[in-house]
Structure 1
């Protein structure tokens, strides 16, 4: 059995869909008791009904993805009985999380100002689209919108193509991770001081913060990072997709050592002495010519052959589709898929494993709860 690092930590979460549930699921992976607070009159977590692959009533493979290992109680926070039951749970909890619109926590009275009288140590963790202290607090918002407005799409795709979003909702996942981090920081502080707090994260701030060094370049040099062919790195070359005899790979010579080693292992020693490619700035300046030369070398062998030659020496990876990625022997080797028991999946539900290891072992996953499954157990 893996160590449950957060065993004894109780988190109530008024959550739905992606970002918030992803963040609290990370905490459940590590042993926290995460209790989903769902309003049955509104259908509970909206992701329960997201198809196309359903699991009985009010459950789906999409929903499972964000709520492994949690519990569920049903109550209406706006009703007298529901509020009373919620406050009883707050007395026993370490944190209350939510990923509602920024104006909703105040209306539902789930901020620290409202809950501290019930439990002065409670940490109230808020995740919203645009934050609670913002002129957009009441706006709905989603990951893709943040990718657009924070500039991500202007840097993604080919230079002569339209702006492109990421294939996955990475802003959601990162913001959920920030929620988990800030919630744990709040609990640590509360355990020392006896006083809880509000902590806030939002999709927009997270997206903007992840502009990272391109933001610093613009703020100080007015340099606008755009799109380069093959998804090339804005300053280091070669660091981009390359053609092989049977597909594509991703080559990243992030240091002079890797460029020299690539030239040696591929038999392209002449490129190592070519003045156009002698330094990182020179290679970046001559990116088009470099791409042509690198492709000419890489197209002499298959992607798998190059993995055998370069793997573990020069940073290189095959460009795979999702089936190839998940069926990869390496994925099985590192135990990144699991089998989860589920009453509506007779053969079990295959799932991605937790990204954590504790004492070398990954946490064992259990299915997400049926709506209200734990109401009788937890609401007295």
Structure 2
């Protein structure tokens, strides 16, 4: 069995952060039943361009492999009854909605404990279910600005910049997955479920880590640095070679000493201006100027060969395509393939989560409502008459005819 094969999650999720978190649970074998609102056309991620057609998009495929989709209007009384039946047969209810919405939808532990006293209700929202911003919508870009990230990213002379990827969203998804698993573990041990009130805001603030500690304790004022240089370790940044860019990092004194030999300037290791971390930090502009001049003489590949031979941490600054074709990417099985009825063969990146030696099997993301009938009949035992009554009552919204025909 896969590690989470005995875990069932009912997911009221949308877009990126929430689906990213449950993606890794599904990768580990959890039965993630994705509830899609037929009134809204399902998860908005289905329509994200540029590679989108109808209700299919490569964006949606990236976040929803190995899940099942049930089309259900939980605002409809009959739809709510179906949701509660699913909760009776689940370990967790997982959502990424605005912080005040779980209470409105009745998907907190207080709302569901009488249905299933062991249920774990994990909410990943922009700002959490408490606090002055609880009712505000929160998205990655907004959080990067609010949490100070954009004052740490980019060139000092340029405008504020976000990270290239939606790292608040993705980190929030990981935090929610960890919280959910901790809650399920405790519920199985104690017989009592709980709320997990996780937020992108909390995640973004917590990821300030040591710059926050420096500021709060010693009054440090973080600033952007040239070419994304590390705030204290010198040299640790991007440098221009003759034909491109490379990154090298001296996170230990031994790496600086080795680097000076590779550069043909071993005397720099003993130079009192550069002998220690503190010395190089005080004289970082001089270090950068010296390295800029030397590294510009040769190509990236020439430098990488010598740096790797000397075990100095280094890498080329790859384009995305180069990173995806890297031999280590392929050796680590980080590219997965699925067959899709609209896109044909879909190639995308795998989950980095590893548990055991078994190679994971990937299944394409579900079509909207694809598993409504199998889940309601197979898991809940609904018969044809019950399905017909639910459809007539509007539990499946505009999808009623398709569900009852299946």
Task: Return the TM-score normalized by structure 1.
Answer: 0.96
Which blocks of at least 5 consecutive residues in structure 2 are unaligned?
377-381, 383-406
1:327 aligns with 2:325: yes
Match of 2:183 among 181, 186, 189: 186
For the residue of structure 2 that corresponds to 1:132, the secondary structure is: coil
- Residues 155 and 227 of structure 2 are in contact (CA less than 8 Å); yes or no, is this contact kept in structure 1? yes
Alignment of structure 1 residues 1-380 onto 2, 5 Å: 4-54=2-52, 56-311=53-308, 313-346=311-344, 348-379=345-376, 380=382
- Residues 355 and 362 of structure 1 are in contact (CA less than 8 Å); yes or no, is this contact kept in structure 2? no
Q: Deviations over 1:151-177 (max 9, x none)?
A: 111111111111111011000000000
Q: CA RMSD in A?
A: 1.2
Q: Deviations over 1:1-42 (max 9, x none)?
A: xx5100021000000001010001110010000011111111
Which blocks of at least 5 consecutive residues in structure 1 are unaligned?
none
The corresponding residue for 2:379 is: none
- Residues 56 and 342 of structure 2 are in contact (CA less than 8 Å); yes or no, is this contact kept in structure 1? no
Offset of residue 362 of structure 1? 4.1
Instruction: Identify if the C-alpha distance between structure 1 residues 307 and 360 changes in structure 2 by more than 3 Å, giving closer, same or farther.
Output: farther
CA–CA distance in 1 between the matches of 2:333 and 2:299? Answer: 27
Offset of residue 284 of structure 1? 1.0
Offset of residue 267 of structure 1? 2.0
Offset of residue 125 of structure 1? 0.1
Instruction: Identify if the C-alpha distance between structure 1 residues 370 and 80 changes in structure 2 by more than 3 Å, giving closer, same or farther.
Output: same
Aligned length: 376
Task: Return the TM-score normalized by structure 2.
Answer: 0.90
- Residues 262 and 314 of structure 1 are in contact (CA less than 8 Å); yes or no, is this contact kept in structure 2? yes
Q: Deviations over 1:199-232 (max 9, x none)?
A: 0110111101111111111111111110111111
What stretches of structure 1 move > 4 A for 4+ residues in a row? none
- Residues 233 and 281 of structure 2 are in contact (CA less than 8 Å); yes or no, is this contact kept in structure 1? yes
Q: Deviations over 1:61-92 (max 9, x none)?
A: 00011111100001111111101111111110
For the residue of structure 2 that corresponds to 1:295, the secondary structure is: helix
Q: Deviations over 1:278-315 (max 9, x none)?
A: 11111111111101111222223221222222227111
For the residue of structure 1 that corresponds to 2:364, the secondary structure is: coil
The corresponding residue for 2:402 is: none
Instruction: Identify if the C-alpha distance between structure 1 residues 310 and 174 changes in structure 2 by more than 3 Å, giving closer, same or farther.
Output: same
CA–CA distance in 2 between the matches of 1:366 and 1:305? Answer: 42
